[in-house]
């Protein structure tokens, strides 16, 4: 397991001789000043500025810290384990892969388990620890369509109930809220999520174009992991008959206010699908996510997805997760086992997206979608100094959270 701990505070730091990756370009021979945890200068080498600590980046890239909207676990832990220890373990693991802001993501667990998960996240948020910032909880499960549950435990799949989800929203920690658009009472769920200023998403759904349009009017602006556990024209026809209707994919591509995300691990989506998503949506509407499980940085083997007591089993081969075959059905994909650094490298090498565009999909775009772009997501003066130094192979060399270096 990769463990991070706080090193000497760097409240006054100059990173010189770097390539600063901005949202629209790379600034060569750049210099970045950090003071009291904030970025105070990004540009060419200034003449009248002094820093107590200076770091020569030797021409390597400096990028904003990655932001993960959709992540379940790592280093043997799942957020749904519901303990502060598990939350810290997942955060530490993803920090080593460059993630500095994270939205812990629920599964189809019981109401008690989900509340325990939210409470564990809140407990860690209240401590002064050098960990990725928990910017809010992603209420992902349990409101999935039964035929699109994926690797999540089907036992916990259910339609939204006001008395249940009201308790989640009342914690004040839910910032992303997912519900399948064809479920009973989904409109009421979207309404409450909108009142709490969440990014409202549709996922694990077999919704039609018409149902997506109604969901959009109720506040939905994002679709989870494009092409994975989502409707298609054939699946909607199987559910609703003829004439054939549009699906979630067509609605996202048609409606420019919608965004989505891809799992660019090299196993969920082939390069042509990543290229298609990038070309059709662009870096302002497409996010990179890990959808990572507890097998990150762990040896191949069998693990539980969700709560360690009763979550569904999956197998990691060290490259991706596989749901165990059931009743003669072949094994299917079950979440990724790699971090955001891998997603960035694979997206860059597999598509025509430039490095600034790929970095944007892992930083500024998710920040904009969740309303935290004024705090983080780009190398701009006044933002928190969450940043990474990447070598020429785009591998993480150093991680800074609020201007403090995480020792690896």
Q: Which residues contact 366 (CB under 8 A, 6 or more apart)?
A: 67, 68, 69, 287, 288, 289, 377
pLDDT digits (tens, 9 = 90+) for 211-270: 999 999 999 999 999 999 999 999 999 999 999 999 999 999 999 999 999 999 999 999
pLDDT digits (tens, 9 = 90+) for 100-145: 999 999 999 999 999 999 999 999 997 878 999 999 999 998 999 9
State how far the Cα of 333 lies from the Cα of 338, in Å rounded to an integer: 14
Q: What mean pLDDT, rounded, does the chain reach?
A: 93
State how far the Cα of 83 lies from the Cα of 330, in Å rounded to an integer: 34
Q: Which residues contact 71 (CB under 8 A, 6 or more apart)?
A: 79, 90, 94, 99, 102, 103, 104, 105, 289, 290, 291, 292
Whether 326 shows a pLDDT value over 80: the answer reads: no
What domains are defined for the chain?
A: 5-63+379-407 (2.30.40.10), 66-370 (3.20.20.140)
pLDDT digits (tens, 9 = 90+) for 281-303: 999 999 999 999 999 999 999 99
- Residue 265 DSSP class: S
Q: Which residues contact 241 (CB under 8 A, 6 or more apart)?
A: none
Q: Which residues contact 194 (CB under 8 A, 6 or more apart)?
A: 200, 218, 219
- Find how far residue 56's CA is from the centre of its chain: 31
Cβ neighbours of 190 (radius 10 Å): 25
Whether 47 shows a pLDDT value over 60: the answer reads: no
For residues 214, 218, 223, 229, the Cα torsion angle rounded to the nearest 10 degrees is -60
pLDDT digits (tens, 9 = 90+) for 153-169: 888 899 999 999 999 99
């Amino acid at each position: 397991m990769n463990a991070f701990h706080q090193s000497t505070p760097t409240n006054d730091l100059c990173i010189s001789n770097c390539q600063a990756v901005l949202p629209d370009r790379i600034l060569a021979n750049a210099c970045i000043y950090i003071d009291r945890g904030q970025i105070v200068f990004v540009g060419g080498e200034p003449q009248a500025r002094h820093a107590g600590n200076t770091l020569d980046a030797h021409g390597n890239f400096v990028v904003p810290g990655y932001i993960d909207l959709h992540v379940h676990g790592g280093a043997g832990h799942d957020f749904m384990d519901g303990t502060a220890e598990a939350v810290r373990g997942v955060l530490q693991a993803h920090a080593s892969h460059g993630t500095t802001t994270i939205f812990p993501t629920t599964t189809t667990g019981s109401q008690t388990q989900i509340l325990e998960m939210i409470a564990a996240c809140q407990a860690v948020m209240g401590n002064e620890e050098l960990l990725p910032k928990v910017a809010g909880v992603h209420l992902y499960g349990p409101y999935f369509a039964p035929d699109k549950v994926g690797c999540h435990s089907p036992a916990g799949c259910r339609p939204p109930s006001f008395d249940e989800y009201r308790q989640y929203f009342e914690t004040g920690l839910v910032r992303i809220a997912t519900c399948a658009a064809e479920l009973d009472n989904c409109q009421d769920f979207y309404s409450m999520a909108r009142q709490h200023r969440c990014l409202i998403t549709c996922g694990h759904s077999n919704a039609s174009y018409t149902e997506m349009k109604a969901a959009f009017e109720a506040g939905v602006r994002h679709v989870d992991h494009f092409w994975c556990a989502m409707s298609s024209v054939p699946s909607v026809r199987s559910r609703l008959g003829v004439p054939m209707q549009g699906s979630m994919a067509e609605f996202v591509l048609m409606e420019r206010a919608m965004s989505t995300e891809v799992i660019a691990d090299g196993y969920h989506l082939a390069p042509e699908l990543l290229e298609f998503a990038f070309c059709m949506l662009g870096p302002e509407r497409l996010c990179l996510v890990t959808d990572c499980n507890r097998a990150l940085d762990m040896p191949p083997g069998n693990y539980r997805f969700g709560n360690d007591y009763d979550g569904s089993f999956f197998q990691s081969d060290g490259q991706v997760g596989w749901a165990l075959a059931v009743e003669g059905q072949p094994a299917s994909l079950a979440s990724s086992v790699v971090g955001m650094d891998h997603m960035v490298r694979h997206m860059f090498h597999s598509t025509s997206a430039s490095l600034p565009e790929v970095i944007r999909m892992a930083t500024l775009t998710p920040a904009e979608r969740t309303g935290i772009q004024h705090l983080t997501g780009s190398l701009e003066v006044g933002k928190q100094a969450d940043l990474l130094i990447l070598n020429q192979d785009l591998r993480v060399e150093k991680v800074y959270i609020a201007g403090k270096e995480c020792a690896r």
